Amino acid sequence: MSTDTVITASAIAPTLEAKILSLVQKIDRTSTVISPAAKLRLEMLVADAQTKGAKIYTAPPQNYLPTVITGLTKEMILYETESFGPVVGILTVDSGAEIIEIAEQATYGLSASIISSNHYRAIKLSESIKAGAVHINSMTVHDEPTLPHGGYGESGWGRFGSKWGIGSLCKPRLSYYIREITYVISVPGVSPVFPDSPGFGFRLPVPQFYFQSWGARRLQRRK
C-alpha cells in the first residue's frame, strides 16, 4: 500500500517537492528489499526515468536508497508499474480532469489517497478512482481487520479482512428441504381422519430454506 505515484497540481508542485525532498534527507533507517532481483528491478525503473528526463533524489547511503523521482511522465516505465520498493514518482497536472483521466487509465489500484482542503470535492473525486481503498487527507498505508482490503485490476482479486475475507473464498449456494406440517380441524359428528387426532386433518408441505457457503462449510438458517 506504499505510495508509488504522487499527482500534484502544478501550482503547488515546487512547494510539495521541496517538502518531500527535505523529509527524504532525514531518513536514517536501512531500506531492505526482498531479493537481489527486486533491487535490479528498482534500479531499472529509476534508470529508465532518468534517461527520459526525470530528476533523481536519494536519501543518505543505505541498502537501497529511498528515492524520489520528479518530472514523471507517461513515457516512463514507473508511470504504469508498481515499484514494490522505496521509490516514489511525482507527476504534475494542471486540472482535476487530468487526475480523473489518469485514474481511469490506471491498470492497478490497491490504495489511493487524496489530500485537499475541500472535503466534499475530495469525496466526489474519489468516486472516479478505481482502488480498493481511497483515503481522504490520510496516507495510503492504512488497514483495519474489520474492513475489507483488496485491489482492482492488476492489484489482485478478492478481499480479506472480517467477513469479506471468508466470503471471497466461498461459493454461495441455496439449499432447502420439504417438511410436512399437519393441521387438524375438529368437526362435530365427523370421524377423525387420523386415528390419533380429534378431527379432520390435512398436511401442508412447508419449505425450509438454508444458505450454504462452500469452502467455509457454514450453514445458516434463514429466519
Task: Tell me what the mean pLDDT of segment 169-173 comes to.
Answer: 72
> Where exactly are the structural domains of the chain?
5-163, 171-221
Task: Tell me what the mean pLDDT of segment 164-187 comes to.
Answer: 64
Higher-confidence position of 174 and 5? 5
At 61 the pLDDT is 61
| Average model confidence (pLDDT) across the chain | 76
Confidence category of residue 216, pLDDT binned at 50, 70, 90 = very low
pLDDT tops 70 at residue 199: no
- The maximal CA–CA distance of the chain, rounded, in angstroms, is 104
Question: Would you say 90 and 17 are in contact if contact means Cβ atoms under 8 Å apart?
Answer: yes
At 51 the pLDDT is 92
Question: Would you say 89 and 79 are in contact if contact means Cβ atoms under 8 Å apart?
Answer: yes
Strand (E) or helix (H) holding 122: helix 119-126
Q: Which fold has domain 5-163?
A: Aldehyde Dehydrogenase; Chain A, domain 2 (3.40.309)
Handedness of CA 60, 27, 19, 143 (dihedral sign): positive
pLDDT tops 60 at residue 41: yes
The 10s digit of each residue's pLDDT in 13-33 is 999 999 988 888 888 776 677
Task: Tell me what the mean pLDDT of segment 35-56 comes to.
Answer: 89
Tell me the pTM: 0.57
At 188 the pLDDT is 53
The 10s digit of each residue's pLDDT in 95-132 is 888 888 888 888 888 888 899 899 888 888 888 888 88
Locate all alpha helices (DSSP H) within the chain, ordered by sequence: 13-24, 36-51, 96-105, 119-126, 162-167
At 220 the pLDDT is 43
At 175 the pLDDT is 66
Instruction: Return d(Cα 151, Cα 111) in angstroms, integer.
Output: 7
pLDDT tops 70 at residue 189: no
